[in-house]
Structure 1
Amino acid sequence: MNTIFQKISEELKNSNDLVLVTIVAQSGSSPRGLGAQMLIGSGGRICGTVGGGAVEHHCEEEAVRLLGEKTSGIRHFSLRRGGAEDIGMVCGGDVSAWFQFIDSSVKEWETLSENVLDLLGKRSEGWLAMNKSGAVSALLNKDGELLSGSLDGTFSAPAKREFLETEDAYYLPITVRDRAVIFGGGHCSQALVPFLNRTGFSVTVMDNRPEFAQEELFPEADCIICGDYLKISDYVQLTESDYVVIMTNGHSHDYEVELQVLQNPTAYVGVIGSRSKIAFTQKKLREAGIPEDVINSVHSPIGTPIKAVTPAEIAVSITGEMIYERALLREKNGTTEHGCPMH
C-alpha cells in the first residue's frame, strides 16, 4: 500500500486522474487475495498487481475505460471455463474488483494520500474505506475513527483485522509492514533491500562504516544507521516481530551482533557466511551461554538453497526464505490463511 499511495500522491501533483483497482470478492482459486490492488493511469498500469494474466489485462482495460468516463464501478470476472463471464483463465474461482476513480481536481484525494503515507510512516494501523458511491475514500484509525476523507454510512472496527464489506463501503485494513533490520551495508545488502521493500518489508540498514551507511546506496530503505556494532541497542530497539539479517564485514562483527540479537526473541534471524564461519560463530555463542535451541533457530546459512552466488542471487534466496517464514508465522498467529495460488 505504501508504494501505491506514493504513486497516487505523485500522479495527483501532476494533475493526472487515476483508477485504483481493488479485489473485493473472491471464491475458489484465484491469483491474488482480497485487498490486492493495482493503480491505473491513462497509459495503463502504473504499479501494483491483481494477479496478472487475463484478469489483470481485463482490469486494466476496464480501468482505462472508466478513467475516460470519470466514474467508479464494480466488475466481476470468472476464472472458470464456460461461464458467462469466462475470461479464459482456468484457476477455478471468481473475483470481483472495485474500480475507484480518483479525480485529480478534487483536493481531498491529495490530502487522503498524504495522510495514508503519514500513517504508514508512523507504523500505525488503520482502515481504508472505499465508498460504493464513488465518493472520496476515507482513512480511519485502527479503532474506526475518521481521520481523512468522507465515509458513507457508519463503521465499527471489528476485533479481527480483515477485509470487510458493508452496505456502503469496502474496508481494507492498513497493516504495519513487518520490519527487516539488516546489519551490514555491503553489496549483498544493497541487492537485498529493494527485494524486501517490494515484498512488503519496512527495511532498516545499520553499518559501522560511514561510507556504507549512505542514503544513495539504499534509496528503498526506510532507515539507515551508522553506529557501533557493540552497542546496537543504542541505535535500534529490536522487537519480537522484527526480521533480522546479519551480513557484516567480518566474523567478529557477525558474532558481536548475533550475540546481542539472540538475547531477546525476534521473528527471524538469518546470518550469511560459509559453514566454517558459522561453526566459528556458533562455538563462541555457546561459550557465551546462548541456549542450544536459540542457536539452532538461526537461519544459517541464510536463504533458500538455490546455489546462489552473485549478490542478486543471494538477495533472491534470502527474500524467498523470509517470505516463507513470514507466511508460516502469520498462519501460526491466525492472522491469515495460506493463499499461494501455486501450492
Structure 2
Amino acid sequence: MNKIEIVDRLLEALDAQEPAELTFVAQTHGSAPRSAGAWMALFSDGSALGTVGGGSVENIAMADARGLLDAGQSCLVRYTIGGKKSDTGMICGGAVTLCHVLVDASLRDVLVQERRILAERGEGVLSFDLSVFGEGATDSTEHGEGSKRTVAGSVPASIVFPERQADIKAGISGERYLEPISPEGYTYIFGCGHVGRALASTLAATGFAVVACDDRPEMLEEGLIPATVERRLVDYGRIGDFCSIGPRDFVVCATSGHKSDREVVVQALACRPTYLGCLGSAKKTAFVRAQLAEAGFSDEEITQVHMPVGLPIQAETPEEIAVSIAAEMILHRRTALLPRIH
C-alpha cells in the first residue's frame, strides 16, 4: 500500500464530508513491528487502508481509532510490546507511540500538498504540532491507557521545507512529529528486457516510483510494463536529456549490451544517485569497472556501484534476479534513507 493511495482516499472522504481517522507510528523504542512513518487510515464506513504493524498493536490501534472517529477526537498514546508490563501481549521487547489524528477540513490543504510532493517525489517534511496534547506528552514514560492524551478535533499540521531535509528522519522532535514526505526520488531502470520488466513490477509493488527506460520502442509497449510504471524511450548515449538523475534517485542498468551498459553507468555515476547498480556477470563487471576507471572515476567512486547488482541468493530466473535486486535496494532505502530511530 503506497502512501499516496491513503492520501487519495482521505481526500475523497473529505470531499464526501465524511470524517476519517489517520493513525501513524510517531516513535519507537527497541524492537517494534513498524518504524515511525507507518500509516493506517480508518473511514466512517469501517474500511481501512495501510498498516501500523499488524497483530496486537494494530488490533488495539484499530479499536482506539474507531472510538476516536466516533467521538471526533485525536489522541497520542504509547504502548509497550514486551516484558512483564506489555500492553499488547507481544514479546518484541520495545515500545511504540501512536498518534491518532481526526482528519477534517482543517487538514485538506496539507493533504493536497502532501499528495503533490508524493506524486512528484519532491522535497518537503510533514509536521504535526503535538503540543496540543499537553506539556510533557511527547516525553512521557507512561504507557497503555495511562499514557493516552486525547483532544477534541484534529491536530495542527503543516508542510515545512528545511534546508537539509536529508538530516531529518521520521519521528518526534521536541513537541513536533516530523516526517520527510518522499525521502527517495525516482527509480530509473535502463533496459526493459526480461529482468528489467520483472524488476519494474517488483519495485512498483514495494513503493518505488519506477521509470522504465529503453531505446527500443517495442520493449515499452503497453502490457509489457505495469500500468503504474512510467515508460520513457531514451537514447542511452545521452540519458541526461531524458532523465534528471539526482542524489535521491535509484538507478539500475540492465541494458542489452556491454556498450550501452558502459554508457549508462558512466553518465549515471556522474550524477551521484543514492544507489546505482549494474546487471551482469563477473566478466561484464570487470569490463564496466575498467571503463569507469578509464573515464576518470576514482576507486572509491567505482566501488559505490553495485556490480553485480543484487543480493547473492543464487538467483537464476528473471523473477528471482528481480527479487535479489529489489532486496538490495530495499536494504539501501531502509539503512541510508529511512533508518529506524530507537
What is the TM-score with the length of structure 2 in the denominator?
0.77
Are the aligned partners of 1:130 and 1:171 in contact in 2 as well (CA < 8 Å)?
A: no
2:101 maps to what in 1?
100
Cα distance, 1:309–1:174 mapped onto 2, change above 3 Å: same
Spell out, residue by residue over 1:148-186, the C-alpha distance to the aligned partner (whole angstroms, 9 max, x if none): xxxxxxxxx99953433666x644443442432211223
Cα distance, 1:159–1:243 mapped onto 2, change above 3 Å: closer
Instruction: Give unpaired runs (5+ residues) of structure 1.
Output: 145-156
Count of equivalent residues? 316
1:151 maps to what in 2?
none
- Give, as a single letter, the amino acid of the residue that structure 2 aligns with 1:46: L
- Structure 1: distance between partners of 2:290 and 2:179: 47
The list of structure 1 runs, each at least 4 consecutive aligned residues, that deviate by more than 6 angstroms after superposition, is none
Are the aligned partners of 2:249 and 2:273 in contact in 1 as well (CA < 8 Å)?
A: yes
- Structure 1: distance between partners of 2:201 and 2:112: 23
**Deviates further, 2-11 or 85-94:** 2-11
- Structure 1: distance between partners of 2:237 and 2:215: 10
1:91 maps to what in 2?
92
Cα distance, 1:318–1:290 mapped onto 2, change above 3 Å: same
- Structure 1: distance between partners of 2:23 and 2:270: 44
Are the aligned partners of 2:128 and 2:155 in contact in 1 as well (CA < 8 Å)?
A: no
1:135 aligns with 2:142: no
Give the counterpart of 2:324 among 317, 320, 328. Answer: 317
Output the aligned Cα RMSD.
3.3
- Structure 2: distance between partners of 1:159 and 1:299: 22
Cα distance, 1:130–1:192 mapped onto 2, change above 3 Å: farther
1:220 maps to what in 2?
228
Higher RCO (CA-CA < 8 Å; seq separation 6+): 2
2:144 maps to what in 1?
none
- Structure 2: distance between partners of 1:59 and 1:100: 12
Measured after TM superposition, the shift of residue 114 of structure 1 is: 1.9
1:147 maps to what in 2?
none
Residue correspondence of structure 1 range 53-202 to structure 2 within 5 A = 53-83=55-85, 86-103=87-104, 106=105, 108-122=106-120, 123-129=122-128, 132=132, 133=151, 134-135=153-154, 137-143=156-162, 161-162=168-169, 163-164=171-172, 170-197=177-204, 199-202=206-209
- Give, as a single letter, the amino acid of the residue that structure 2 aligns with 1:121: A
Cα distance, 1:32–1:225 mapped onto 2, change above 3 Å: same
What is the TM-score with the length of structure 1 in the denominator?
0.77
Identity %: 33
Cα distance, 1:55–1:280 mapped onto 2, change above 3 Å: same
Measured after TM superposition, the shift of residue 52 of structure 1 is: 2.2
Give the counterpart of 2:212 among 202, 205, 212. Answer: 205
Are the aligned partners of 1:178 and 1:200 in contact in 2 as well (CA < 8 Å)?
A: no
Cα distance, 1:215–1:125 mapped onto 2, change above 3 Å: farther
Spell out, residue by residue over 1:269-318, the C-alpha distance to the aligned partner (whole angstroms, 9 max, x if none): 21112334334444554555555554443212210111223333222211
**Deviates further, 68-77 or 295-304:** 68-77
Measured after TM superposition, the shift of residue 229 of structure 1 is: 0.7
- Structure 2: distance between partners of 1:190 and 1:203: 11
Cα distance, 1:54–1:250 mapped onto 2, change above 3 Å: same
Spell out, residue by residue over 1:233-267, the C-alpha distance to the aligned partner (whole angstroms, 9 max, x if none): 11123234432100123333222212322345332
Cα distance, 1:11–1:193 mapped onto 2, change above 3 Å: farther
1:34 maps to what in 2?
36
Instruction: Give unpaired runs (5+ residues) of structure 2.
Output: 133-150
1:18 aligns with 2:16: no
Spell out, residue by residue over 1:198-232, the C-alpha distance to the aligned partner (whole angstroms, 9 max, x if none): 545433322112233357624333x4321111111
- Structure 1: distance between partners of 2:187 and 2:253: 11
Give the counterpart of 2:49 among 41, 46, 49. Answer: 46
- Structure 2: distance between partners of 1:207 and 1:303: 21
Are the aligned partners of 2:42 and 2:65 in contact in 1 as well (CA < 8 Å)?
A: yes
Are the aligned partners of 2:19 and 2:69 in contact in 1 as well (CA < 8 Å)?
A: yes
- Structure 2: distance between partners of 1:301 and 1:209: 24
Q: The residue matched to 2:209 in structure 1 has which SS?
A: strand
- Structure 2: distance between partners of 1:286 and 1:337: 35
- Structure 2: distance between partners of 1:278 and 1:164: 43
Measured after TM superposition, the shift of residue 100 of structure 1 is: 1.6
- Give, as a single letter, the amino acid of the residue that structure 2 aligns with 1:117: R
Q: The residue matched to 1:139 in structure 2 has which SS?
A: strand
2:136 maps to what in 1?
none
Measured after TM superposition, the shift of residue 89 of structure 1 is: 0.5
Are the aligned partners of 1:79 and 1:89 in contact in 2 as well (CA < 8 Å)?
A: yes
Cα distance, 1:170–1:326 mapped onto 2, change above 3 Å: closer
